[in-house]
Amino acid sequence: MSKENYNVIGVMSGTSLDGVDLAAICLKIENAKWSFEITDSETISYSDAWLSRLKNAVEFDNLELIKLNRDYTILLGSIIKDFIEKHGLKPDAVCSHGHTVLHQPQHGFTLQIGNLPELADLVAQKVVCDFRVQDVRFGGQGAPLVPIGDRLLFSGYDYCLNLGGFSNVSFERDLARIAFDISPVNTVLNFYANRLGLPYDDKGSIAASGKIHGEMLSALNALDFYRKPFPKSLGFEFVRESIFPLIEKFDTTVPDVLCTFIEHAAMQTALALPGQSGKMLVTGGGAYNDFLIGRIKHHLPKMEIVIPDSKILEYKEALIFGLLGVLKLRNEINVLSSVTGATRDHSSGVIYG
């Protein structure tokens, strides 16, 4: 499949559990340069029952994971099929990330559910999916995968920062793309907002009402992960095993926890960048957190921070997984060893249908 124009559907579910992001995308390549248009987009929220299953999946045994994978593939198939029918789409392919429930590249293992072959039958389309497994098999972290899209679609920025369940950044250095996870963000912020009966802290207003807990902040900043060289990536296991137990040692209020953790995430963002000036594209749900953005600006006063229109802000990852799928169909490199640590660049993913 080698042509100049592709109509695909990018599908992404992130660790912040906002729901399933779907984007209908037109991708064009002309004179070796890619361009895109997001024509239709939608986020389908999870039911309370599904939220509970996905939150607890890290504790599941093998049989429970197998059942979860089957059930989630059926759910995802239904969501994608409804999206196609609603918008009258005729895609060349559906390019789906699935949902990460386990990510342990240090043990040679990563699991994204919803990537079973049955997905192609359920949506009656060609499906490209399961983009991370091959990279882990090649000795990589299986993450981040978005940087190839940052290079091909957003080259006008010095840095591309995503503030999702975890934050990650990508940039060019010495003619190589560098990228890595920085810290947890919404996985922690949403967890503590949930304790107040809220799905999230709208615009960071609760965090803004709190105070920084100095001892907690110092302990968070002292975690070993932040001293590790890249490539490096994070999974929910890190939050469960390192972040939550550390925070729970301190007797403080939810607003103070949120305020302190935002300060921690902002500080780690600034520390992660090799240069403190330039132009930085910021996307992901965390870009709506005004308090978080304000603290990042405080720690990076010389950086021009650009928050794009809502379609790019909310659907950038779905867009880029659409691109990854097209690159796989073209048998072109879609994963960079410079960011994952794999033994070589490669064209990752499986094609069904």
250-280: per-residue pLDDT in tens? 999 999 999 999 999 999 999 999 999 999 9
DSSP β-bridge partners for residue 181: 168
CA–CA separation, 332 and 317 (whole Å): 19
CA–CA separation, 198 and 85 (whole Å): 33
- Collect all residues with Cβ–Cβ distance below 8 Å to 348 and sequence separation of at least 6: 131, 132, 133, 134, 135, 145, 324, 328, 334, 335
Least confident of 3-7, 36-40, 77-81: 3-7
Asked if 20 and 129 sit in the same domain, the reply is: yes
% residues pLDDT > 70 (the chain): 99
Q: Which two tokens stand for residue 200?
A: 């999230």
| Pairing assessment for the beta strands 109-113 and 176-184 based on DSSP bridges | unpaired
* pLDDT computed for residue 311 by the predictor: 94
Q: Which two tokens stand for residue 319?
A: 């867009």
* pLDDT computed for residue 230 by the predictor: 87
The per-residue pLDDT of the chain, averaged, comes to 96
Helix (H, G, I), strand (E, B) or coil at 167: strand
Asked if 342 and 258 sit in the same domain, the reply is: no
Question: Residue 344 is part of a domain; what is its CATH number?
Answer: 3.30.420.40
Asked if 275 and 133 sit in the same domain, the reply is: no
Alpha-carbon separation of residue 312 from 23, 38, 62, 164, 295 (angstroms): 10, 8, 37, 14, 22
Asked if 29 and 112 sit in the same domain, the reply is: yes
Output the CA torsion 12→14→20→22 (10° steps).
-30
- Collect all residues with Cβ–Cβ distance below 8 Å to 166 and sequence separation of at least 6: 15, 181, 182, 183, 184, 185, 187, 234
Asked if 173 and 284 sit in the same domain, the reply is: yes
- The distance in angstroms from the start CA to the end CA of the chain is 14
DSSP β-bridge partners for residue 346: 335
* pLDDT computed for residue 235 by the predictor: 87
User: Residue 1 pLDDT more than 50?
Assistant: no
Q: Which two tokens stand for residue 183?
A: 């810290």
Asked if 119 and 41 sit in the same domain, the reply is: yes
Asked if 205 and 107 sit in the same domain, the reply is: no
Asked if 27 and 126 sit in the same domain, the reply is: yes
Helix (H, G, I), strand (E, B) or coil at 236: helix
Tens of pLDDT, residues 244-257? 999 999 999 999 99
Asked if 153 and 298 sit in the same domain, the reply is: yes
Q: Are 259 and 211 in contact (CB under 8 A)?
A: yes
User: Residue 181 pLDDT more than 50?
Assistant: yes
Tens of pLDDT, residues 295-311? 999 999 999 999 999 99
| Pairing assessment for the beta strands 166-173 and 159-163 based on DSSP bridges | antiparallel
Q: Are 332 and 300 in contact (CB under 8 A)?
A: no
Helix (H, G, I), strand (E, B) or coil at 297: helix
Tens of pLDDT, residues 13-61? 987 788 999 999 999 999 999 999 999 999 999 999 999 999 999 899 9
How many domains, the chain?
2
- Collect all residues with Cβ–Cβ distance below 8 Å to 205 and sequence separation of at least 6: 291
Asked if 57 and 130 sit in the same domain, the reply is: yes
Strand residues in the chain grouped as ranges (E): 5-13, 20-30, 33-44, 93-104, 109-113, 127-129, 159-163, 166-173, 176-184, 278-283, 303-306, 350-352
Least confident of 117-126, 131-140, 227-236: 227-236
Domain that holds residue 68: 5-141+317-352
Tens of pLDDT, residues 307-338? 999 999 999 999 999 999 999 999 999 999 99
Asked if 199 and 230 sit in the same domain, the reply is: yes
* pLDDT computed for residue 2 by the predictor: 63
Single pTM value for the model: 0.89
DSSP 62-83: HHHHHHHHHHHHHHHHHHHHHH
Asked if 199 and 307 sit in the same domain, the reply is: yes
